[in-house]
């Protein structure tokens, strides 16, 4: 997640009145691409949900599996990922860090936005011709069940890159000044020329080049607000072009490999499921029940906030969406009871960190995809670490509210609690339906979200009856956008991880961390600290894709249970993600609640301190993560 600072928009009417033909052409180009991509992507989300649910129904109910189902799902999936990436680029929803550029004066911020757009264009231009060449080479490969050329699937990459290039150019035509554009092009071209001239000299530096490209280069691009996927991808391209003779066709192939894992199809489905839960009124029903049950206690609504985040977390794929579903339902009543808004945001932010391991977390799905760890085992292991985090936060809430006057706060009558429970029961059952579908073999981890979507539609329409059908299309488009932003990061990070592996860095890292003092315990502690730092700058998904393939084999060789290691890594990244001053999750919580970060920053530290203690417990007590796993 990121706190987005959008480029200053030029209103359509102003552009026409000013007689700016360049801006007018850019606006028309962007509008055409908008309708083309959004309608197609919305249709693909619906098609994937229906196809995967049909797979479950035919296999489990009719015992007649659709042999072509997975192939068709894979073909549609990469098109959904690339069109979603285009939509995310147009809407400014690609993951990026804007903490630093937000502090710039408007003219400098405008230049930073223009420079970032030129960097994006440079990255796309480098890969565009190899992407079309990759499509041509895949023409000879035929799928087993559908018996069609694989070129129809991988063409999504080249088409997507072409549309992203068109969007980037259209944005510059609409919004960038000629001076900013020319300076940006000269800087980017100058850096490229410098790398070309210094190619021979840099090759002699060996793996010290990794520091230049994958530390200095990546950090610089992230700091100036370049999308994380471009920071990963362009650093990889620059390294391979300058230091090796690897053709760019290989980079496109690695991106395809990273985005094509069928298990990742769970990402758009769970994103859509999360939006559906909120739109159907199910999230609000769960919150009302918790409030009636414990809202009368000292700090009762604070406990409700923690419990509500626990219940809705992990499904939407966006912590911002989780927090946005809970905050409007609870904050007004909490303010009526005298709660300070800074305290509320501090609790909201820390609750987001606490709940990172709760299934069906997209980070857990990503770990399973890139490391081979069982998704079912990760889902099972994710509940208790969050319980430990929730208990640590509850201890802070109790301590802060132990002398609070609750006079005038009425306790809900047992009848009202029972009524709220019955109303919330269909919503409360959803996590159990999802888990049972996986454990009982009804659906795979990829397909289970389609079961959840079907259940939510039926339960929402039958029991809650508050769904506005006008919200469906925007939900589908938003699902495609968020999914595309996540998946293209995975693709670029996969290419980057491949480059690091080929350089020998993974072997050196394994040797270094294996020699850490303290054996497995020391390795766990070092990993926890490293993932806290990573979480401060990166979302969990790109960090896991980049470092998971490097570190999980080391943990395995040291005898550390992979589920235990995964929980430590995810919990630590969540802590970093919501820890100021760098954690972008913290600023997202402030934005949702419309609160100044400076005030909330002073209140969040006790909660983060409690979560750090919970992290130490996870490191020291493997049972918390693996105690409920079935015996091998």
Write out pLDDT tens, residues 180-213.
999 999 999 999 999 888 887 887 777 788 888 8
Residue 9 has pLDDT above 60, yes or no: no
The pLDDT value given to residue 631: 64
Residues 239 and 329 in one domain: no
**Is 601 within 8 Å of 581 (Cβ atoms)?**
yes
Least confident range from 89-98, 112-121, 427-436, 499-508: namely: 499-508
Whether 37 and 83 have beta carbons less than 8 Å apart is answered as yes
- For residue 138, CA distances in Å to 77, 251, 256, 499 come to 17, 15, 12, 22
430 in any annotated domain: yes
Same domain membership, residue 205 and residue 177: yes
Contact 123, 74 (CB under 8 A): no
* pLDDT score, position 537: 62
pLDDT of residue 15: 45
Same domain, 72 and 159: yes
Q: Would you say residue 137 lies in a domain?
A: yes
In a domain, 272, yes or no: no
493 lies in some domain: no
Contact 571, 615 (CB under 8 A): yes
- Give percent above pLDDT 70 in the chain: 88
* Residues 189 and 320 grouped into a single domain: no
Domain end, chosen from 211, 230, 260, is at 260
Count how many domains the chain has. Answer: 2
- Both 544 and 518 in one domain: the answer is yes
Query: Both 414 and 452 in a single domain?
Result: yes
> Both 239 and 300 in a single domain?
no
Span 355-393, pLDDT tens digits: 888 877 778 888 888 888 888 888 888 889 989 999 999
CA dihedral 243, 249, 254, 255 (to 10 degrees): 110
Confidence of residue 447 (pLDDT cuts 50, 70, 90): confident
Q: Residue 488 falls within a domain, yes or no?
A: no
Tens digit of each residue's pLDDT (9 = 90 or more) over 535-573: 776 666 767 877 788 788 888 888 899 999 999 999 998
Backbone phi and psi for residue 568, each to the nearest 5 degrees, phi listed first? -60, -45
The 10s digit of each residue's pLDDT in 147-171 is 899 999 999 999 999 999 999 999 8
Helix (H, G, I), strand (E, B) or coil at 573: helix
Asked whether residue 334 carries a pLDDT value surpassing 80, the answer given is: no
306 and 393 together in one domain: yes
Residue 451 sits in which domain range?
277-467+504-626
Q: Greater confidence, 152 or 3?
A: 152
Query: Which residues lie across from 142 on neighbouring strands?
Result: 149
pLDDT of 12:
44
Among the candidates 260, 295, 313, a domain finishes at: 260
Q: What is the pLDDT of residue 183?
A: 93
* Nearest to 128, CA basis, from 78, 163, 92: 163
484 is a domain residue: no
Residues 153 and 292 in one domain: no
Task: Specify if 267 maps to a domain.
Answer: no
Q: What DSSP character marks residue 98? A: -
Do 297 and 219 share a structural domain?
A: no
Clarify whether residues 308 and 245 are in a common domain.
no
Domain boundary among 233, 260, 287: 260
Q: How far apart are the first and last CA of the chain?
A: 37
User: Tens digits of per-residue pLDDT, 83-128?
Assistant: 999 999 998 888 777 767 878 888 888 898 899 899 999 999 999 9
Residue 330 lies in a domain: yes
Q: Please check whether residues 189 and 336 belong to one and the same domain.
A: no
Give the whole-angstrom CA distance, residue 63 versus residue 54: 12
| Residue 10: pLDDT over 50 | no
């Amino acid at each position: 997640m990121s706190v987005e600072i959008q480029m200053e928009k030029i209103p359509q009417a102003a552009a026409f009145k000013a007689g700016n033909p360049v801006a007018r052409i850019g606006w028309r180009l962007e509008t055409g691409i908008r309708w083309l991509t959004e309608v197609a992507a919305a249709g693909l989300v619906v098609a994937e949900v229906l196809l995967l649910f049909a797979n479950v129904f035919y296999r489990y109910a009719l015992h007649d599996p659709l042999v072509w189902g997975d192939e068709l799902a894979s073909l549609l999936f990469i098109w959904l990922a690339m069109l979603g990436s285009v939509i995310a680029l147009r809407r400014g929803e690609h993951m990026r860090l804007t903490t630093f550029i937000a502090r710039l004066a408007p003219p400098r911020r405008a230049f930073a936005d223009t420079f970032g757009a030129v960097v994006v264009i440079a990255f796309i231009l480098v890969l565009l011709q190899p992407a079309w060449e990759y499509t041509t080479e895949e023409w000879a490969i035929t799928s087993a069940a559908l018996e069609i050329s694989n070129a129809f699937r991988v063409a999504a990459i080249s088409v997507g890159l072409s549309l992203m290039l068109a969007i980037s150019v259209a944005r510059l035509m609409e919004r960038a000044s000629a001076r900013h554009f020319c300076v940006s092009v000269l800087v980017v071209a100058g850096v490229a020329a410098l790398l070309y001239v210094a190619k021979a000299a840099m090759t002699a530096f060996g793996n010290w080049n990794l520091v230049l490209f994958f530390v200095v280069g990546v950090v610089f691009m992230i700091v100036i607000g370049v999308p994380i996927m471009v920071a990963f991808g362009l650093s990889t391209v620059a390294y391979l072009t300058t230091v090796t003779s690897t053709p760019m066709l290989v980079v496109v192939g690695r991106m395809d490999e990273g985005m094509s894992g069928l298990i990742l199809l769970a990402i758009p489905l769970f994103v859509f499921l999360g939006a559906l839960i909120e739109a159907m009124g199910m999230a609000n029903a769960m919150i009302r029940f918790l409030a009636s049950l414990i809202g009368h206690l000292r700090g009762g609504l604070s406990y409700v906030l923690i419990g509500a985040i626990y219940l809705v977390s992990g499904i939407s794929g966006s912590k911002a969406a989780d927090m946005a579903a809970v905050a409007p339902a609870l904050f007004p009543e909490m303010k009526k009871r005298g709660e300070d808004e800074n305290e509320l945001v501090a609790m909201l932010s820390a609750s987001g960190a606490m709940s990172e391991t709760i299934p069906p977390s997209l980070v857990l799905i990503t770990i399973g995809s890139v490391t081979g760890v069982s998704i079912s085992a990760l889902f099972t292991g994710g509940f208790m670490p969050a319980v430990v985090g929730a208990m640590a936060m509850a201890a802070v809430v109790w301590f802060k509210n132990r002398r609070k006057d609750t006079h005038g706060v009425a306790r809900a009558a047992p009848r009202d609690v029972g009524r709220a429970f019955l109303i919330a029961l269909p919503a409360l059952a959803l996590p159990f339906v999802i888990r049972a579908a996986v454990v009982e073999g009804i659906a795979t981890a990829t397909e289970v979200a389609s079961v959840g979507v079907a259940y939510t539609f039926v339960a929402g329409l039958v029991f809650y009856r508050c769904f506005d059908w006008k919200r469906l299309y925007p939900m589908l488009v938003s699902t495609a956008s968020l999914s595309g932003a996540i998946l293209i990061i995975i693709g670029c990070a996969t290419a980057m991880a491949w480059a690091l592996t080929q350089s020998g860095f993974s072997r050196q890292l394994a040797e270094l961390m294996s020699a850490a003092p303290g054996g497995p315990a020391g390795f766990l502690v070092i990993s926890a600290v490293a993932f806290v730092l990573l979480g401060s700058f990166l979302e969990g998904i790109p960090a896991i894709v980049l470092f998971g393939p490097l570190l999980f084999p080391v943990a395995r060789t040291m005898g550390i249970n992979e589920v235990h290691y995964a929980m430590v890594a995810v919990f630590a990244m969540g802590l970093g993600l919501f820890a100021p001053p760098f954690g972008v999750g913290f600023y997202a919580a402030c934005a949702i609640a419309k609160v100044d970060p400076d005030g909330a920053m002073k209140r969040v530290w006790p909660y983060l301190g409690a979560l750090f203690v919970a992290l130490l417990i996870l490191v020291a007590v493997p049972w918390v993560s693996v105690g409920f796993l079935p015996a091998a």
